[in-house]
Amino acid sequence: MDGIIIINKPKGMTSHDVVAEVRRITGERSCGHTGTLDPDATGVLVVCMGRATRLSRFMMETPKEYEAAIVFGISTDTGDASGKVVAVSEDVKVPRKRVFEAFQRFVGDIEQIPPMVSAVRHRGRRLYELAREGITVEREPRRVTIYEIEPASLEDWPEVVRLGSQGSMRVVCSKGTYIRTLCEDICASIGIEGHMGALERTASSGFRLSEACTLNELRQAAAYGELDNLVRPIVEGVGHMPKCVVSEDEASRIKHGTQIEWDPNRAEPACGIGEYIALLGADGALVAVGEVRLMDGRALIQPRVVL
């Protein structure tokens, strides 16, 4: 089975568990997701099946959107609500306006130190494996991009943030961003402790939570022979890319890995040298993902992933 399924991941399951369940329900052995969610997090988990798995690396590069709750005045050893309390700010009295102003200091390219409970490798082992053994190691900061931060709803915010207060924020960010670290850093920037109370991913790989189904809905669809209603076509995985319709002859050459001449006027929207472009057949199906290259003064499209 080739296509994409958007799952609303429940709390308590790992991303790997969800993929394994999708594999079991659909019978498709080749399955993979486009970005891990922690077990305690909920929301959009995009699962690619069959030939769609070839697009995972492109889909992972797209921005992600989250709604996260910040708990003020209390920090934990994991940076989220599952950890043990390690520090408390006793005299917390911060106007919410000051917190909102702090949000803006984190918009743009920032550096984050991966938390010890992350899947980053250190000398061949995952950091979370070391953390379970009580081992803490030095971690190199990583550069990520925060595109937007804003309150998810003013109704969720007290006028004055005090010890134990919570407020929800909406974050649009690049891949590799640790939202728990962002919550901690925002609190640190206003001089108090803090941690992430809850996390929901509301968009990933170009898909939104409103488009997602639950695992139970997927099971029911399979039981009634209606899986096709929940499986998205492969071409939707490149919705973020410029597109170009190729001729039958060009499609044949592309499928054999042959470069084709490139006319920038054929792309919608515009596509420049070094960018990836989705190459579609006359029927709108995805033929390949190509890269626009300049060789000996000629603009060419080099097939990178052929479907």
- Shared domain check, 129 and 250: no
- Shared domain check, 247 and 189: no
In degrees, to the nearest 5, what angle opens at C-alpha 205 toward C-alphas 201 and 211? Answer: 65
Q: Comparing 162 with 272, which gets the higher pLDDT? A: 162
- Catalytic residue list contains 249: no
Does the pLDDT of residue 147 top 90, yes or no? Answer: yes
State which residues form the domain around 19: 3-62+205-236
CB atoms within 10 A of CB 303: 20
- Shared domain check, 219 and 198: no
Query: Which listed residue (2, 17, 38, 109) is catalytic?
Result: 38
- Whether 288 and 280 have beta carbons less than 8 Å apart is answered as no
- Shared domain check, 68 and 199: yes
pLDDT band at 122 (very low <50, low <70, confident <90, very high): low
For the ranges 160-174, 210-224, 284-298, which has the lowest average pLDDT? Answer: 284-298
- Shared domain check, 7 and 68: no
- Shared domain check, 114 and 47: no
- Shared domain check, 98 and 11: no
What is residue 132's three-state secondary structure? helix
- Shared domain check, 199 and 70: yes
pLDDT at 184: 96
For 180-229, the pLDDT digits (tens) are: 999 999 999 999 999 999 999 999 999 999 999 999 999 999 999 999 99
pLDDT at 181: 95
Average pLDDT of the chain is: 93
Does the pLDDT of residue 131 top 70, yes or no? Answer: no
pLDDT at 65: 98
pLDDT at 266: 85
For 7-20, the pLDDT digits (tens) are: 999 999 999 999 99
- Shared domain check, 172 and 74: yes
- What is the maximum alpha-carbon separation in the chain? 72
Residue type for position 182: L
- Shared domain check, 105 and 74: yes
Does the pLDDT of residue 145 top 80, yes or no? Answer: yes
Domain of residue 251, CATH code = 2.30.130.10
Strand-pairing partners, residue 290, are 277, 303
- Shared domain check, 224 and 191: no
| pTM (two decimals) | 0.92
Q: How many domains does the chain have?
A: 3
- Mean pLDDT, range 49-53, rounded to an integer: 97
C-alpha atoms less than 13 angstroms from C-alpha of 33 in its C-beta half-sphere: 21
pLDDT band at 71 (very low <50, low <70, confident <90, very high): very high
- Shared domain check, 194 and 133: yes
For the ranges 118-127, 151-160, 206-215, 247-256, which has the lowest average pLDDT? Answer: 118-127
- Mean pLDDT, range 159-184, rounded to an integer: 96
Task: Name the domain boundary from 154, 189, 204.
Answer: 204
pLDDT band at 169 (very low <50, low <70, confident <90, very high): very high
pLDDT band at 262 (very low <50, low <70, confident <90, very high): confident
Percent over 70 (pLDDT), the chain: 96
Domain of residue 14, CATH code = 3.30.2350.10
- The string of DSSP codes covering 2-48 is -EEEEEEEPTT--HHHHHHHHHHHH--S-EEESS---TT-EEEEEEE
CA-to-CA distance for 86 and 91, rounded, in angstroms?
16
For the ranges 15-19, 107-111, 133-137, which has the lowest average pLDDT? Answer: 133-137
CA-to-CA distance for 213 and 227, rounded, in angstroms?
11
pLDDT at 295: 83
